[in-house]
Every structure is written in structure tokens, then in C-alpha cells.
Amino acid sequence: MNFDINTIVYMLEIIVGGLLVGIGVHFVPVGGAPAAMAQATGIGTGTVQLAAGSGLTGLLSAGLMMSVTHNLWPILATGAVGAMIMMDATMLTGTWIYAYAVGAPFASAKVTYDPVTGWSQPPYVAPGTVGQGIPTVCFVSGTIGAAMGGLGGAMIYYPLVLINHNPAQSAIFAIGIFMVDAVLASWNIQGTIEGFHDPKFKKWPGAFKACLISTVILAVVAVLITPITGGA
């Protein structure tokens, strides 16, 4: 393919998408393995796994939308909405188990009052735990993070399809870029975070720089890989 102004725009879109994924991971409230035993606040799984689950659901929605239109905005919006639906359905069903099976009041150990509801948190934190369940602030933060992840995934996928006209190749490449940025962000927060109210959230510039460097390299590879693999 020719290296022209469109190529630079495609690369910029991939880079912005990668950065959105990297920052979006910081919003997703994951407590890791302790959260699965109601020992920590958030969703009881790994950061990358949950971010990938939601972001790639958004990628499926965006891929479907892009098969019928090449208008950027509906593709980005439907990617974000698909990711938000997956994340919220996950957090909601997880909430049922915390509330009705494990039997634990939701509490964050990182703030004294929930920034969204204004409810006090420390009286509800059981000793020997760092909070439990998914308080409202975490749910809202997770929804924002999923929207950013889905938006980022769609924004990576969109230029890739325009470059190589091959949805399958673009999807696999978008999944790869998504994973790289999600893993870098996960290292930055050391595996667990409660959301935008967590003090760890202030570390996001570190992930921003790392994701910028890695995504620039991947964007260059993405625009060069088409002639190598013989894309249309």
C-alpha cells in the first residue's frame, strides 16, 4: 500500500484506541482472587481477563456494525455499548451472589464515603478484609472502563479493516493490540484496583507512556503487515 496521509490517520486511530484500552483498564474494579472469597472489593477475577472479555464483546458488535456501514461514529458507539452491556451484566450477576449467597454488605476499603452515593464505608468492612462486593462507585467506574475498552477496541479495528479489507485478520490483530495494552495497564496497577476513586488510579500516566510506546510500534507493524501477508 502507499504511504500517504490516510496511513498516518490510520496509525493515529490505532494509537488512540490502544491508549483508550490502557486507561480504560484502570477504571475496571478488579479484586483478583481475594475478591472471589469476599476478601477484597471488586470483581473476583484478573484485570486483563475481564477487560478482554468486555472489550472483545464490543469488538464483535463493532465488527457487525462495520459489515453494514463504514461510518465511524456508529461503529465506535456500538463497540462501547456492547462492552458496557457485558461488563454490567457480569457485575450485576456477581452482585446477586455477593448479596444473596455469600451475604456480605458492599463496602470499599479505599474511601471513607462512596463518592457516588455518599454512604459511609468503614463500618461495613469486616476485619481481615479490604472491603467486599461491588459498591455503586465501583459499578459506575467499571461501566466507564468498559466503554473506554470497547471504544478503544473498535477504534483499533476500524482502520485495520480499511487497511487490509479482511475482517478476520483485523479482528485477530485488534485482539493482539488489545491484550498488549491491557497487560501493560495491569502491571501498572499491580493486578488489582477499585476504580477511579482508588489511590492507584493516579498511576495512570505510567501506563499511558508504556501503551503509547508499544502501540506506536504495533501501529507501524499494522500498516506494514498488509503487503507482507498479501492482504487485498
Partner 1 sequence: MDAFGMGLVAAMGALATISGASEDIDSDIGSQSNPNSQVQLAAQVGNPHRIYNKAIAGEPPSNALWCTCAAIVAYMLIEAYHMPALFAIAAGAAFAALVDGVMSTSAYFGRNASQARFNQWIYLDIVRYTTTSIMAHVWITAFCITTIAYIQIYVLTPHHPFPLPVIALIWGLTVGAIGSSVGDIHYGGEREFQWRLFGQGLNTMLSGQIVRKAEAGLRNSIDNAWFCAKFGGPCTGLGFGLTVFLDNWRTTVFDPVTQASAAIAMGIFFVLVMNVYNFYCELSARRKYGPYPGYKGDIAA
Query: What's the number of CA atoms in the CB half-sphere (13 Å) around residue 3?
Result: 6
**Site for partner 1 contains 133 (CB under 8 A):** yes
Cα distance between residue 193 and residue 57, in whole Å: 22
Interatomic CA distance for residues 157 and 78, integer angstroms: 13
Minimum distance of partner 1 from residue 141's CB (angstroms): 11
Question: How does DSSP classify residue 73?
Answer: H
CB of 205 to partner 1, least distance (A): 27
Taking CB under 8 A as the criterion, the residue among 7, 95, 115, 206 binding partner 1 is: 95
Residues 49-78 that bind partner 1 (CB under 8 A): 49-50, 52-54, 56-57, 59-61, 63-69, 71, 74, 77-78
3-state secondary structure of 80: helix
- 118 interacts with partner 1 by CB under 8 A: no
Separation of alpha carbons 208 and 20, rounded Å: 9
Q: Which of 6, 46, 201, 231 binds partner 1 (CB under 8 A)?
A: 46
Q: Report 140-199 residues binding partner 1 (CB under 8 A).
A: 140, 143, 167-168, 171-172, 175
Check residue 43 for interaction with partner 1 (CB under 8 A): yes
Query: Which span (5-13, 83-91, 213-221, 224-232) binds partner 1, by CB under 8 A?
Result: 83-91
Distance of CA 17 to the CA centre of its chain: 11
Residue placing its CB nearer to partner 1 in the complex, 36 or 162:
36
* Gap between the Cα atoms of 220 and 209, Å rounded: 17
- In the list 3, 4, 5, 96, the residue contacting partner 1 (rule: CB under 8 A) is 96
Q: How far is CA 2 from CA 6, 61, 162, 163, in A?
A: 9, 30, 13, 10
123 binds partner 1 (CB under 8 A): yes
In contact, 193 and 30? CB cutoff 8 Å: yes
Q: Does 115 bind partner 1 (CB under 8 A)?
A: no
